[in-house]
Protein backbone atom coordinates (compact mmCIF):
# COMPACT_ATOMS: atom_id res chain seq x y z
CA UNK A 1 0.00 0.00 0.00
CA UNK A 2 1.35 3.40 -0.98
CA UNK A 3 1.39 6.26 1.48
CA UNK A 4 -1.05 8.95 0.37
CA UNK A 5 -1.60 12.07 2.47
CA UNK A 6 -2.53 15.06 0.36
CA UNK A 7 -2.14 17.62 3.16
CA UNK A 8 1.28 16.30 4.11
CA UNK A 9 2.34 16.28 0.48
CA UNK A 10 1.24 19.90 0.02
CA UNK A 11 3.00 20.90 3.23
CA UNK A 12 6.14 19.11 2.12
CA UNK A 13 6.01 20.81 -1.27
CA UNK A 14 5.54 24.20 0.39
CA UNK A 15 8.46 23.65 2.79
CA UNK A 16 10.69 22.45 -0.04
CA UNK A 17 9.78 25.55 -2.04
CA UNK A 18 10.62 27.78 0.92
CA UNK A 19 13.97 26.04 1.32
CA UNK A 20 14.76 26.51 -2.38
CA UNK A 21 13.74 30.19 -2.39
CA UNK A 22 15.62 31.03 0.82
CA UNK A 23 18.76 29.29 -0.41
CA UNK A 24 18.44 31.10 -3.73
CA UNK A 25 18.08 34.42 -1.90
CA UNK A 26 21.21 33.90 0.17
CA UNK A 27 23.18 32.84 -2.89
CA UNK A 28 22.02 36.01 -4.67
CA UNK A 29 23.07 38.15 -1.71
CA UNK A 30 26.41 36.38 -1.49
CA UNK A 31 27.19 36.82 -5.17
CA UNK A 32 25.54 40.23 -5.54
CA UNK A 33 28.56 42.27 -4.50
CA UNK A 34 30.86 40.21 -6.69
CA UNK A 35 28.68 40.55 -9.79
CA UNK A 36 27.99 44.25 -9.19
CA UNK A 37 31.68 45.04 -8.73
CA UNK A 38 32.76 43.41 -11.99
CA UNK A 39 32.46 46.75 -13.77
CA UNK A 40 35.01 48.24 -11.36
CA UNK A 41 37.66 45.69 -12.29
CA UNK A 42 38.33 47.70 -15.43
CA UNK A 43 38.68 51.48 -15.50
CA UNK A 44 35.97 53.29 -17.41
CA UNK A 45 37.56 55.24 -20.28
CA UNK A 46 37.21 58.99 -19.80
CA UNK A 47 37.08 61.59 -22.56
CA UNK A 48 40.16 63.43 -21.27
CA UNK A 49 42.29 60.36 -21.94
CA UNK A 50 41.78 60.73 -25.69
CA UNK A 51 42.02 64.51 -26.02
CA UNK A 52 45.16 66.24 -27.30
CA UNK A 53 45.34 68.52 -24.30
CA UNK A 54 48.43 70.36 -25.51
CA UNK A 55 46.75 71.47 -28.73
CA UNK A 56 43.47 72.23 -26.99
CA UNK A 57 45.21 74.35 -24.34
CA UNK A 58 46.99 76.33 -27.05
CA UNK A 59 43.71 76.95 -28.83
CA UNK A 60 42.00 77.94 -25.59
CA UNK A 61 44.80 80.43 -24.82
CA UNK A 62 44.35 81.96 -28.27
CA UNK A 63 40.62 82.23 -27.67
CA UNK A 64 41.23 83.94 -24.35
CA UNK A 65 43.54 86.46 -26.07
CA UNK A 66 40.97 87.13 -28.77
CA UNK A 67 38.25 87.52 -26.15
CA UNK A 68 40.34 90.15 -24.38
CA UNK A 69 40.81 92.05 -27.63
CA UNK A 70 37.11 91.79 -28.44
CA UNK A 71 36.17 93.03 -24.97
CA UNK A 72 38.59 95.96 -25.34
CA UNK A 73 37.04 96.88 -28.69
CA UNK A 74 33.57 96.56 -27.20
CA UNK A 75 34.52 98.99 -24.42
CA UNK A 76 35.91 101.44 -26.98
CA UNK A 77 32.81 100.96 -29.07
CA UNK A 78 30.63 101.86 -26.10
CA UNK A 79 32.67 105.02 -25.53
CA UNK A 80 32.46 105.98 -29.19
CA UNK A 81 28.75 105.32 -29.19
CA UNK A 82 28.36 107.73 -26.29
CA UNK A 83 30.39 110.33 -28.19
CA UNK A 84 28.20 109.83 -31.27
CA UNK A 85 25.07 110.23 -29.20
CA UNK A 86 26.46 113.43 -27.68
CA UNK A 87 27.46 114.80 -31.10
CA UNK A 88 24.07 113.95 -32.53
CA UNK A 89 22.37 115.70 -29.63
CA UNK A 90 24.51 118.81 -30.12
CA UNK A 91 23.74 118.76 -33.82
CA UNK A 92 20.01 118.49 -33.22
CA UNK A 93 20.07 121.31 -30.66
CA UNK A 94 22.11 123.55 -32.93
CA UNK A 95 19.86 122.78 -35.91
CA UNK A 96 16.75 123.53 -33.89
CA UNK A 97 18.27 126.83 -32.71
CA UNK A 98 19.29 127.68 -36.27
CA UNK A 99 15.82 126.94 -37.63
CA UNK A 100 14.24 129.18 -35.00
CA UNK A 101 16.72 131.92 -35.73
CA UNK A 102 15.96 131.73 -39.46
CA UNK A 103 12.26 132.14 -38.80
CA UNK A 104 12.98 135.20 -36.65
CA UNK A 105 15.24 136.67 -39.32
CA UNK A 106 12.61 136.22 -42.02
CA UNK A 107 10.13 138.07 -39.84
CA UNK A 108 12.44 140.98 -39.10
CA UNK A 109 13.98 140.93 -42.56
CA UNK A 110 17.41 142.28 -41.58
CA UNK A 111 19.90 141.65 -44.44
CA UNK A 112 22.82 142.66 -42.22
CA UNK A 113 22.73 139.27 -40.54
CA UNK A 114 23.88 137.19 -43.55
CA UNK A 115 27.24 136.65 -41.91
CA UNK A 116 25.50 135.20 -38.89
CA UNK A 117 23.66 132.76 -41.16
CA UNK A 118 26.92 131.53 -42.64
CA UNK A 119 28.47 131.19 -39.21
CA UNK A 120 25.61 129.13 -37.85
CA UNK A 121 25.51 126.96 -40.99
CA UNK A 122 29.23 126.25 -40.65
CA UNK A 123 28.72 125.23 -37.03
CA UNK A 124 26.00 122.81 -38.07
CA UNK A 125 28.25 121.34 -40.75
CA UNK A 126 31.00 120.91 -38.19
CA UNK A 127 28.68 119.05 -35.81
CA UNK A 128 27.42 116.84 -38.61
CA UNK A 129 30.94 116.13 -39.87
CA UNK A 130 32.07 115.20 -36.37
CA UNK A 131 29.13 112.83 -36.03
CA UNK A 132 29.94 111.16 -39.36
CA UNK A 133 33.60 110.74 -38.41
CA UNK A 134 32.68 109.00 -35.18
CA UNK A 135 30.21 106.77 -37.01
CA UNK A 136 32.98 105.77 -39.43
CA UNK A 137 35.15 105.00 -36.43
CA UNK A 138 32.32 102.89 -35.02
CA UNK A 139 32.04 100.94 -38.28
CA UNK A 140 35.79 100.32 -38.22
CA UNK A 141 35.50 99.00 -34.67
CA UNK A 142 32.64 96.70 -35.68
CA UNK A 143 34.73 95.36 -38.53
CA UNK A 144 37.62 94.71 -36.15
CA UNK A 145 35.33 92.94 -33.68
CA UNK A 146 33.83 90.80 -36.47
CA UNK A 147 37.29 89.88 -37.71
CA UNK A 148 38.39 88.83 -34.24
CA UNK A 149 35.14 86.88 -33.76
CA UNK A 150 35.75 85.04 -37.05
CA UNK A 151 39.23 84.07 -35.89
CA UNK A 152 37.77 82.89 -32.61
CA UNK A 153 35.14 80.80 -34.45
CA UNK A 154 37.87 79.18 -36.54
CA UNK A 155 39.79 78.21 -33.41
CA UNK A 156 36.59 76.92 -31.79
CA UNK A 157 35.98 74.79 -34.87
CA UNK A 158 39.47 73.31 -34.46
CA UNK A 159 38.72 72.54 -30.80
CA UNK A 160 35.42 70.94 -31.81
CA UNK A 161 37.23 68.83 -34.39
CA UNK A 162 39.66 67.63 -31.74
CA UNK A 163 36.72 66.91 -29.43
CA UNK A 164 34.96 64.85 -32.12
CA UNK A 165 38.10 62.78 -32.68
CA UNK A 166 38.44 62.21 -28.94
CA UNK A 167 34.79 61.17 -28.61
CA UNK A 168 35.12 58.70 -31.49
CA UNK A 169 38.15 57.14 -29.81
CA UNK A 170 36.33 57.06 -26.47
CA UNK A 171 33.29 55.39 -28.06
CA UNK A 172 35.51 52.65 -29.45
CA UNK A 173 37.30 52.26 -26.12
CA UNK A 174 33.95 52.22 -24.31
CA UNK A 175 32.75 49.35 -26.49
CA UNK A 176 35.93 47.46 -25.76
CA UNK A 177 35.44 48.16 -22.06
CA UNK A 178 31.88 46.80 -22.16
CA UNK A 179 33.06 43.75 -24.08
CA UNK A 180 35.77 43.04 -21.49
CA UNK A 181 33.29 43.44 -18.63
CA UNK A 182 30.83 41.19 -20.44
CA UNK A 183 33.48 38.51 -20.99
CA UNK A 184 34.40 38.65 -17.30
CA UNK A 185 30.74 38.27 -16.36
CA UNK A 186 30.38 35.46 -18.88
CA UNK A 187 33.40 33.61 -17.47
CA UNK A 188 31.81 33.79 -14.00
CA UNK A 189 28.13 33.21 -14.78
CA UNK A 190 28.35 30.64 -17.59
CA UNK A 191 29.84 27.89 -15.36
CA UNK A 192 27.19 28.73 -12.75
CA UNK A 193 24.44 28.36 -15.37
CA UNK A 194 25.86 25.14 -16.81
CA UNK A 195 26.09 23.66 -13.33
CA UNK A 196 22.46 24.62 -12.74
CA UNK A 197 21.42 22.88 -15.97
CA UNK A 198 23.42 19.83 -14.92
CA UNK A 199 21.58 19.76 -11.59
CA UNK A 200 18.24 19.86 -13.41
CA UNK A 201 19.20 16.94 -15.62
CA UNK A 202 20.95 14.85 -12.99
CA UNK A 203 19.28 15.51 -9.62
CA UNK A 204 15.59 16.15 -10.31
CA UNK A 205 14.64 12.99 -8.41
CA UNK A 206 17.22 13.39 -5.66
CA UNK A 207 16.03 13.55 -2.07
CA UNK A 208 17.91 16.83 -1.63
CA UNK A 209 16.38 18.32 -4.77
CA UNK A 210 15.10 21.47 -2.93
CA UNK A 211 18.73 22.42 -2.26
CA UNK A 212 19.67 21.80 -5.86
CA UNK A 213 16.58 23.75 -6.94
CA UNK A 214 17.72 26.73 -4.89
CA UNK A 215 21.01 26.74 -6.76
CA UNK A 216 19.20 26.30 -10.09
CA UNK A 217 17.02 29.34 -9.38
CA UNK A 218 20.12 31.30 -8.45
CA UNK A 219 21.86 30.28 -11.69
CA UNK A 220 18.92 31.48 -13.79
CA UNK A 221 18.76 34.72 -11.80
CA UNK A 222 22.47 35.26 -12.39
CA UNK A 223 22.01 34.65 -16.11
CA UNK A 224 18.97 36.87 -16.68
CA UNK A 225 19.91 39.69 -14.29
CA UNK A 226 23.69 39.47 -14.12
CA UNK A 227 24.55 38.72 -17.74
CA UNK A 228 21.72 39.42 -20.19
CA UNK A 229 21.37 43.16 -19.33
CA UNK A 230 25.09 43.59 -20.03
CA UNK A 231 25.13 42.02 -23.46
CA UNK A 232 27.00 44.28 -25.91
CA UNK A 233 24.44 46.10 -27.98
CA UNK A 234 26.04 46.94 -31.35
CA UNK A 235 22.71 48.24 -32.57
CA UNK A 236 20.79 45.62 -30.60
CA UNK A 237 21.76 42.77 -32.94
CA UNK A 238 23.42 40.66 -30.27
CA UNK A 239 20.56 41.02 -27.80
CA UNK A 240 17.97 40.22 -30.43
CA UNK A 241 20.04 37.27 -31.65
CA UNK A 242 20.36 35.87 -28.13
CA UNK A 243 16.62 36.30 -27.62
CA UNK A 244 15.89 34.50 -30.89
CA UNK A 245 18.24 31.63 -29.98
CA UNK A 246 16.65 31.23 -26.53
CA UNK A 247 13.13 31.27 -27.98
CA UNK A 248 14.08 28.73 -30.66
CA UNK A 249 15.69 26.39 -28.12
CA UNK A 250 12.73 26.68 -25.76
CA UNK A 251 10.32 26.18 -28.67
CA UNK A 252 12.13 23.04 -29.83
CA UNK A 253 12.13 21.68 -26.28
CA UNK A 254 8.42 22.46 -25.76
CA UNK A 255 7.40 21.03 -29.14
CA UNK A 256 9.33 17.83 -28.54
CA UNK A 257 7.82 17.45 -25.08
CA UNK A 258 4.29 17.97 -26.39
CA UNK A 259 4.79 15.57 -29.28
CA UNK A 260 6.33 12.92 -27.03
CA UNK A 261 3.41 13.28 -24.62
CA UNK A 262 0.91 12.88 -27.47
CA UNK A 263 2.76 9.83 -28.80
CA UNK A 264 2.84 8.36 -25.31
CA UNK A 265 -0.91 8.83 -24.94
CA UNK A 266 -1.53 7.28 -28.34
CA UNK A 267 0.51 4.22 -27.39
CA UNK A 268 -1.32 3.95 -24.07
CA UNK A 269 -4.68 3.96 -25.84
CA UNK A 270 -3.54 1.16 -28.13
CA UNK A 271 -3.24 -1.35 -25.27
CA UNK A 272 -6.19 -2.99 -23.54
CA UNK A 273 -8.24 -1.22 -20.90
CA UNK A 274 -7.18 -3.80 -18.30
CA UNK A 275 -3.50 -3.05 -18.87
CA UNK A 276 -4.14 0.68 -18.83
CA UNK A 277 -6.07 0.36 -15.57
CA UNK A 278 -3.06 -1.35 -13.97
CA UNK A 279 -0.78 1.51 -15.03
CA UNK A 280 -2.90 4.25 -13.44
CA UNK A 281 -1.20 5.57 -10.30
CA UNK A 282 -3.23 6.50 -7.23
CA UNK A 283 -1.95 10.09 -7.31
CA UNK A 284 -2.89 10.44 -10.97
CA UNK A 285 -6.29 8.91 -10.31
CA UNK A 286 -6.93 11.30 -7.41
CA UNK A 287 -6.15 14.35 -9.53
CA UNK A 288 -8.26 13.01 -12.39
CA UNK A 289 -11.21 12.44 -10.05
CA UNK A 290 -11.02 16.02 -8.78
CA UNK A 291 -11.08 17.38 -12.33
CA UNK A 292 -13.65 14.86 -13.68
CA UNK A 293 -11.13 13.52 -16.17
CA UNK A 294 -10.32 10.06 -17.38
CA UNK A 295 -6.89 9.12 -15.97
CA UNK A 296 -5.98 7.47 -19.26
CA UNK A 297 -7.10 9.76 -22.09
CA UNK A 298 -7.59 12.92 -20.02
CA UNK A 299 -11.10 13.76 -21.30
CA UNK A 300 -14.05 14.85 -19.19
CA UNK A 301 -16.24 11.87 -18.33
CA UNK A 302 -19.27 13.77 -16.98
CA UNK A 303 -22.48 13.64 -19.02
CA UNK A 304 -23.59 17.13 -20.01
CA UNK A 305 -27.19 18.26 -19.77
CA UNK A 306 -27.54 18.37 -23.54
CA UNK A 307 -26.24 14.80 -23.95
CA UNK A 308 -29.33 12.61 -24.54
CA UNK A 309 -27.46 9.47 -25.52
CA UNK A 310 -27.26 8.24 -21.93
CA UNK A 311 -29.91 8.26 -19.25
CA UNK A 312 -29.42 8.71 -15.54
CA UNK A 313 -28.84 5.45 -13.73
CA UNK A 314 -29.69 4.42 -10.20
CA UNK A 315 -26.43 5.62 -8.67
CA UNK A 316 -26.27 8.06 -5.81
CA UNK A 317 -26.79 11.73 -6.60
CA UNK A 318 -23.02 12.35 -6.48
CA UNK A 319 -22.43 10.17 -9.52
CA UNK A 320 -25.78 10.76 -11.22
CA UNK A 321 -24.31 12.29 -14.40
CA UNK A 322 -21.31 10.06 -15.03
CA UNK A 323 -20.72 6.74 -16.75
CA UNK A 324 -19.05 3.58 -15.51
CA UNK A 325 -16.70 3.54 -18.48
CA UNK A 326 -14.97 6.36 -20.33
CA UNK A 327 -16.91 7.11 -23.51
CA UNK A 328 -13.70 8.05 -25.32
CA UNK A 329 -11.18 5.31 -24.51
CA UNK A 330 -13.25 2.59 -22.79
CA UNK A 331 -11.37 2.63 -19.46
CA UNK A 332 -13.40 1.50 -16.45
CA UNK A 333 -14.02 4.48 -14.17
CA UNK A 334 -16.52 3.38 -11.49
CA UNK A 335 -17.33 -0.03 -10.09
CA UNK A 336 -19.13 -1.60 -7.16
CA UNK A 337 -17.30 -2.86 -4.13
CA UNK A 338 -17.55 -6.66 -3.89
CA UNK A 339 -17.99 -6.41 -0.13
CA UNK A 340 -20.65 -3.74 0.33
CA UNK A 341 -21.81 -2.94 -3.20
CA UNK A 342 -21.01 0.79 -2.96
CA UNK A 343 -19.98 2.47 -6.21
CA UNK A 344 -16.36 3.67 -5.99
CA UNK A 345 -13.88 5.28 -8.28
CA UNK A 346 -12.17 2.23 -9.73
CA UNK A 347 -8.61 3.55 -9.49
CA UNK A 348 -8.50 4.53 -5.81
CA UNK A 349 -7.04 1.98 -3.39
CA UNK A 350 -9.93 1.51 -0.93
CA UNK A 351 -13.72 1.53 -0.78
CA UNK A 352 -15.13 4.74 0.66
CA UNK A 353 -17.86 2.86 2.56
CA UNK A 354 -16.39 -0.33 4.02
CA UNK A 355 -12.65 0.29 3.59
CA UNK A 356 -12.13 -2.89 1.62
CA UNK A 357 -9.25 -2.79 -0.86
CA UNK A 358 -10.47 -2.06 -4.36
CA UNK A 359 -7.31 -3.62 -5.75
CA UNK A 360 -8.31 -6.88 -4.03
CA UNK A 361 -11.70 -6.55 -5.71
CA UNK A 362 -9.90 -6.32 -9.04
CA UNK A 363 -7.83 -9.42 -8.29
CA UNK A 364 -10.94 -11.27 -7.14
CA UNK A 365 -12.73 -10.41 -10.37
CA UNK A 366 -9.75 -11.45 -12.46
CA UNK A 367 -9.57 -14.79 -10.63
CA UNK A 368 -13.30 -15.32 -11.07
CA UNK A 369 -13.06 -14.53 -14.76
CA UNK A 370 -10.10 -16.89 -15.10
CA UNK A 371 -11.82 -19.77 -13.33
CA UNK A 372 -14.96 -19.34 -15.35
Residues 107 and 188 in one domain: yes
CA distance linking residue 225 with residue 155, whole number of Å: 47
214 in the same domain as 350: no
Please calculate the CA angle 121-126-131 and round it to the nearest 5 degrees: 125
Of the three residues 185, 216, 232, the one that is the final residue of a domain is 232
- At 110 the pLDDT is 52
Q: Which pLDDT belongs to residue 255?
A: 92
Q: Looking at the structure, tell me whether residues 172 and 32 fall in a common domain.
A: yes
* Same domain flag for 295 and 193: no
> How many Cβ atoms from other residues are within 10 Å of residue 87's Cβ?
20
User: Which domain range does residue 154 map to?
Assistant: 12-232
pLDDT at 79: 84
> Is 239 a member of any domain?
no
Please tell me the pTM assigned to this model.
Answer: 0.51
In a domain, 324, yes or no: yes
Alpha carbon of residue 313 to chain centroid: 60
Instruction: Look at residues 232, 252, 281 and tell me which one is the last residue of a structural domain.
Output: 232
**Strand ranges (DSSP E) for the chain?**
334-336, 343-345
Of 190, 210, 232, the residue at which a domain comes to its end is: 232
Q: What is the pLDDT of residue 225?
A: 83
Residues of the chain with confidence (pLDDT) below 50: 1-4, 108, 235, 306-320, 361, 363-372
Number of domains in the chain: 2
Region label for 2, one of left (φ > 0), alpha (ψ between -120 and 50) or beta (otherwise): beta
Q: What is the pLDDT of residue 136?
A: 83
Predicted pLDDT at 206? 87
Q: Is 353 helix (H, G, I), strand (E, B) or coil?
A: coil
pLDDT digit string, tens, across residues 264-277: 877 776 676 666 66
CA distance 139 to 142: 5
Amino acid sequence: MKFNNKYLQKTSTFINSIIAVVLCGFLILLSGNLIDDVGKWKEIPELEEFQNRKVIVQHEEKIQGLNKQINAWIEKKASVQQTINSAEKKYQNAKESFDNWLKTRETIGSPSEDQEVLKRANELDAYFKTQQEWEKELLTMNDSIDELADKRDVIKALIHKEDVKAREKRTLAFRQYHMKVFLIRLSIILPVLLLGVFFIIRFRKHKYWPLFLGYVLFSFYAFFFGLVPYLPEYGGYIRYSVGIVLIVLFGIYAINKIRSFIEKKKKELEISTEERAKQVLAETAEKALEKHMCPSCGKDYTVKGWDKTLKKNNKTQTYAMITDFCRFCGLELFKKCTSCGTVNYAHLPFCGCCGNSISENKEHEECSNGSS
